[in-house]
Amino acid sequence: MDGQKWESPETVEAVQKLAPNLPHLVPLLRTFFEGASITWKQFTSEFAPGGLIDEATADERELVWMPPTNDVNEGAFRILMHQQPHLTSLQYNAQAMYAHNNTQAFMEEKFQPEDYQYICQLDWSKLENKQLLSMLKPKLTNM
């Protein structure tokens, strides 16, 4: 699309072979690109001449540099899911926050026996379902 070679020409060829049997492929791609173009404009406006990034000095750009993707975190999640396939996203987030916030030291200092008992009695699957329902509820009511 940008005049360059495809990163995976085999994938493009496979899709092209399947395309005649995929009647929704073109409308789906059209809708995707129409929606993406709005977002691309929002995320690229600061690169335009006179924009924040265009006007920034080399030192300022160096100070605000960050990786362009969240691959490090997503990679960690995939690895952990491979090691613990039944782990829910709620449990993963709890483990990550536990490690990040030094929760063990807090627990050692503050927790009482009843606190440990409460945590052991939590039904994580119900918490996960409650979280999932709270995310889906707005979408379900708009249908």
* 5-47 pLDDT, tens digit each: 888 899 999 999 999 999 999 999 999 998 888 888 777 777 8
Residue 7 — φ and ψ, nearest 5°?
Answer: -65, -35
Residue 143, pLDDT > 50, answer: no
* pLDDT digits 0-9 by tens, 62-113: 888 877 776 666 777 778 888 888 887 777 888 888 888 888 899 999 989 9
Question: What are the distances in angstroms from CA 133 to CA 21, 85, 110, 119?
Answer: 35, 22, 32, 22
